[in-house]
Amino acid sequence: MRVTACVTVPAAPAINASRYPSWLRLLRVTAWVHRFDHNSRAKTDRRSGPLTVHELRDAEHVWLCNAPAEQFGPEIAALQQGRRLPTGSYLHQLAPFMDSSGLLRVGGRLRHSQLDYEAKHQVILPAKGDATRLLVTDHHKKLAHTGAEHVLTHIRQQFWVICGRAAVKRYTRACMVCRKRSARPMPPLIGDLPAFHVGDPAPAFTRVGVYFFGPLAVKRQRKREKIYGCLFACLSTRAVHIELAHSLDAGSFIMAMRRMMARRGKTKLVCSDNGTNLRAGERELRQSLQQWNQAKIADTLSQEGVEWKFNPPAAPHFGGVFERLVRSAKRALSTVLGDRVVDDETLRTAVTEVGALLNGRPLTHVSTDPDHYQP
């Protein structure tokens, strides 16, 4: 039953709530102060022993009555006088009322509901205040430091905090236990980009990173064979060229390297990991270049050798430039082919189309402004 008549709000004790770390500590101190005040006035009915549940509830009632008075004083005065709230008030949409004990509660349309009275008409609390902070912190600790949504759900069973979700997040973020538990180690400072990444501009595929991926299954007559993808990523433009290698030996890699250079142009720098096939490929490639020079075919190939840079051992993150493109290529291939085993010609077509797909991706942000340039 709603009560809009004038009610007496208990006076707040001379206690600074900001000094207390928990809601229970504040209630116990308030209850001891009230007991001392009662015993100093009473002559016969003196209280002794541990604090009772009734005394703790009276202490809680005092703080719940006085917490909204600091922010909603005009609204409480209007309700006590039977006047309507101003439309600009935070409490206007809650249809608040003052109950017989002086608590400011939410109105609503659940008067005939079978819910508990505390759940139907929650006690209204301001978003900021010591009482709200201690209540949120107390529920957060009782719920084993769970998230803000879980804490807000339990608080709503009895209290209605103005801007409750923001208030709960504000006070739970300050929890040192949660901050220590969710802390992440500071990542080390990443070194400068290599000179061949940000050096002088050069044509595409002048400096490339090479990486093998697979195996990919192909169907040849009645049996399946393994085939591997060799991805060449331009270190300047992030362009991609994918070749198929029939094995992981050095000869197959040399053939893939020669096909790439025949289609994309002369490569001056190759960056790769420490794969054994790539180390052998470097040696065989140098020998092949020497033989080409001895065969006097300088009119078709450059006289300069190919510089090769290997990443440090046990450091796969050094090849993040081309390994990220390998992930995109494998994802596109798995989307196109799925679990199907295709023949050699179909696989070569799919790999070529995946390379074209990666080369057509935007390199910058797609802006919504029509005056901006296209990516």
**What was the pLDDT predicted at 219?**
85
Mean pLDDT of the 209-220 span:
83
Phi-psi map region of 221: left, alpha, beta (phi>0 left; psi -120 to 50 alpha): left
Mean pLDDT of the 177-205 span:
80
Asked which of 9-18, 44-53, 228-237 is least confident by mean pLDDT, the reply is: 9-18
pLDDT in tens, 132-184: 999 999 999 999 998 899 999 999 999 999 989 999 999 999 899 999 888 88
**What was the pLDDT predicted at 375?**
66
Angle of the 130-142 helix axis to the 164-173 helix axis, nearest 10: 70
The pLDDT mean for the chain works out to 81
Confidence band of 300 (pLDDT split at 50, 70, 90): very low
Bridge partner list, 310: 272
**What was the pLDDT predicted at 335?**
83
Q: What is the sign of the dihedral through the CA atoms of 331, 335, 336 and 339?
A: positive
**What was the pLDDT predicted at 292?**
45
**What was the pLDDT predicted at 222?**
80
Q: How many other CB atoms sit within 10 Å of the CB of residue 292? A: 15
Residue with the larger pLDDT of the pair 278 and 126: 126
Mean pLDDT of the 7-22 span:
72
Q: What structural domains and CATH numbers belong to the chain?
A: 17-179 (1.10.340.70), 196-359 (3.30.420.10)
Confidence band of 344 (pLDDT split at 50, 70, 90): confident
Residue 318 · residue 311 · CB < 8 Å: yes
Confidence band of 197 (pLDDT split at 50, 70, 90): confident
Bridge partner list, 227: 216
Q: Does pTM top 0.85 for this prediction?
A: no
- What's the token pair of residue 149? 């949504």
Per-residue burial over 198-210, b = 16 or more CB atoms within 10 Å of its CB, e = otherwise:
eeeeeebbbbbbb
Dihedral, 223, 224, 225, 227 alpha carbons, nearest 10: 150
DSSP 33-58: HHHHHHHHH-SS----SSPPHHHHHH
CA–CA separation, 121 and 110 (whole Å): 8
Q: Kindly give, in sequence order, each residue whose CB lies less than 8 Å from that of residue 360, ignoring residues fewer than 6 positions away.
A: none
**What was the pLDDT predicted at 275?**
65
Taking 70 as the threshold, does the pLDDT of residue 209 lie above it? yes
Confidence band of 113 (pLDDT split at 50, 70, 90): confident
pLDDT in tens, 62-75: 999 988 888 888 88
**What was the pLDDT predicted at 273?**
74
Residue 159's H or E segment, with its range, is strand 159-161
Taking 70 as the threshold, does the pLDDT of residue 356 lie above it? yes
Taking 70 as the threshold, does the pLDDT of residue 189 lie above it? yes
**What was the pLDDT predicted at 72?**
87
Phi-psi map region of 147: left, alpha, beta (phi>0 left; psi -120 to 50 alpha): beta
Confidence band of 296 (pLDDT split at 50, 70, 90): very low
